Amino acid sequence: MKRWGLTPVINAAGTMTSLGASRVAPEVRAAVDDVLGRFVRIDELHALANRTIRKATGAEAGYVTSSSSAAITLACAAALTGDDLDAIEALPFAKCETRVAVMMSHMVNYGGSVPQAIAASGAEVVPLGTAALCETYHLEAAIRDGLAAAVYVVSHHTVREGELPMDLFIAICNSHGVPVIVDMASEYDLTGAVALGADAVIWSGHKFLGGPTSGIVAGRARMIHAMVLQNRGLGRLMKAGKEAIVGAVAALEAWGKRDHAAEAAREAAIADGWIADLAGLQGVTARRHGDWTGNPITRVRLKLDAEAGLYAWELASRAMSGNPAVALRDDLSMHQLIFLDPCNVTAEEAPVVSARIREICEAARAKGDGLKRSWSEEKAARGQAATPWIGDDA
């Protein structure tokens, strides 16, 4: 880090791609380092990944892609073409049914757009329902009009109010022979969606699994085979290298051996330490917070009021501007909420996080330099900063 002048980051925000996702486990790093110095047959690596993913998920087949967003595109492409090589080479100019349905409440942005990931395959995106309501008849009507596939997203970003439950969504699609693609990139459950009958289920290899950047897909053999064949077309643009495939395999193996109860206890202890450290901090209320989608993570929820001396987004920005930078989860900061995620924080780093928060809040009250930029002003500033140039300064 020092060699290149990079700012060290303490990541209390969670498994964020913008921060490098997760710490890669030592055994995974060793496996990746080993394969990087060798030549291999990529088809043998994919066969190894297939066996490993099948064992971990109970699916008929598995596949490693360059990322979970790439997996969405490739799964949709596979639904459009099947094993027709001519159709695969023609994408994104499809020669068949192109409509792919997704609930409007699932048309979210995870750093990239779900509809864009679908459309990149050559598919026509078909929204179901409205932002906070999707009924069975919305899905059934889309099926009557013809669908190549349907996509279901499991994420804290989605609007869960009024959505169709995943089991019902999959059951309706299965009854009509419509393939279902489930994107659950950050979810711990490796078997549930497969058992429900989804044709392709997608996880991020570099989030909770702690591997290098990759997408892991499990599902029906016919769908996975069609995804593999996309390497004759769109898949070439987003191919996974040997390091990604081996890393995903090693991460899955490590996940299976992990003491999950001990890890949950470690994270809970860090969360409780933060709550204790921040007790009595004026204008800030800290309490435990369960995961939005049911993952076994104990986070800390900070609620700021006017007495804190600054807005939640100001707190997050100032924490990130330090050295080391301290990343706080601020996606709900417009509600004056900040969340602290312990999953990528070490015991040594944990007290630095709470000390930085206390320091920033106390300094803001003493200087009176907080509460300066409204949420509207903050959003406008973020919009203007959305296209940064990362080249050398002029």
Whether 394 maps to a domain, the answer reads no
Tell me if 201 sits within 8 A of 194, measured CB to CB: yes
Q: Under the phi-then-psi rule, with left for phi > 0, alpha for psi from -120 to 50, and beta for the rest, what region is 234?
A: alpha
Q: State residue 392's pLDDT score.
A: 56
Counting the structural domains of the chain, the total is 2
CATH of residue 62: 3.40.640.10
| Listed residue (110, 113, 105) closest to 163, CA to CA | 105
Q: State residue 394's pLDDT score.
A: 44
Whole-angstrom Cα distance, residue 294 to residue 205? 19
Q: Is-above-0.75 flag for pTM?
A: yes
Query: How many CA within 13 A on the CB side of residue 156?
Result: 13
Which residue bears the tokens 């009176």?
Answer: 368
**Do residues 253 and 264 share a domain?**
no
331: number of Cβ within 10 Å: 14
Q: State residue 322's pLDDT score.
A: 87
Whether 32 maps to a domain, the answer reads no
Buried/exposed code over 284-310 (b: 16+ C-beta within 10 A; e: otherwise): bebeebebebeeebbbbbbebeeebbb
Whether 392 maps to a domain, the answer reads no
Whether 24 maps to a domain, the answer reads no
Tell me if 204 sits within 8 A of 21, measured CB to CB: yes
Tell me if 106 sits within 8 A of 81, measured CB to CB: no
Look at residues 242, 257, 272 and tell me which one is the last residue of a structural domain.
257
Whether 393 maps to a domain, the answer reads no
Whether 25 maps to a domain, the answer reads no
Helix (H, G, I), strand (E, B) or coil at 104: helix
**Strand 215-219 relative to strand 200-204, pairing:** antiparallel
Give the domain range for residue 316: 2-16+260-383
**Do residues 233 and 288 share a domain?**
no
Give me the residues paired with residue 99 across strands. 124
**Do residues 52 and 186 share a domain?**
yes
| Tokens (6 digits) for 326 | 């301290």
**Do residues 45 and 190 share a domain?**
yes
Q: State residue 388's pLDDT score.
A: 64
Contacts of residue 346, defined as CB under 8 A and 6 or more positions apart, other chains included, come to: none
Which amino acid does the sequence have at 385?
A
Between the alpha carbon of residue 74 and those of residues 150, 181, 224, the distances in Å are 13, 10, 10
- How far the first Cα of the chain sits from its last, in Å, is 24
pLDDT in tens, 218-265: 999 999 999 999 999 999 999 999 999 999 999 999 999 999 999 999
Whole-angstrom Cα distance, residue 87 to residue 71? 18
Whether 28 maps to a domain, the answer reads no
**Do residues 268 and 306 share a domain?**
yes
Whole-angstrom Cα distance, residue 382 to residue 374? 12
**Do residues 243 and 274 share a domain?**
no
Whole-angstrom Cα distance, residue 339 to residue 356? 14
**Do residues 223 and 284 share a domain?**
no
**Do residues 73 and 188 share a domain?**
yes
Whether 176 maps to a domain, the answer reads yes
Look at residues 201, 223, 257 and tell me which one is the last residue of a structural domain.
257
**Do residues 282 and 337 share a domain?**
yes
Residues of the chain with pLDDT under 70: 1, 386-394
Contacts of residue 251, defined as CB under 8 A and 6 or more positions apart, other chains included, come to: 24, 25, 28, 205, 209, 210, 211, 212
**Do residues 70 and 218 share a domain?**
yes
Look at residues 257, 292, 311 and tell me which one is the last residue of a structural domain.
257
Which amino acid does the sequence have at 371?
L
**Do residues 292 and 226 share a domain?**
no
**Do residues 172 and 264 share a domain?**
no
Helix (H, G, I), strand (E, B) or coil at 63: strand
Whole-angstrom Cα distance, residue 229 to residue 151? 20
CATH of residue 358: 3.90.1150.180
Give me the residues paired with residue 218 across strands. 62, 201
Longest dimension (CA), the chain: 68
Residue 187: DSSP 8-state: -
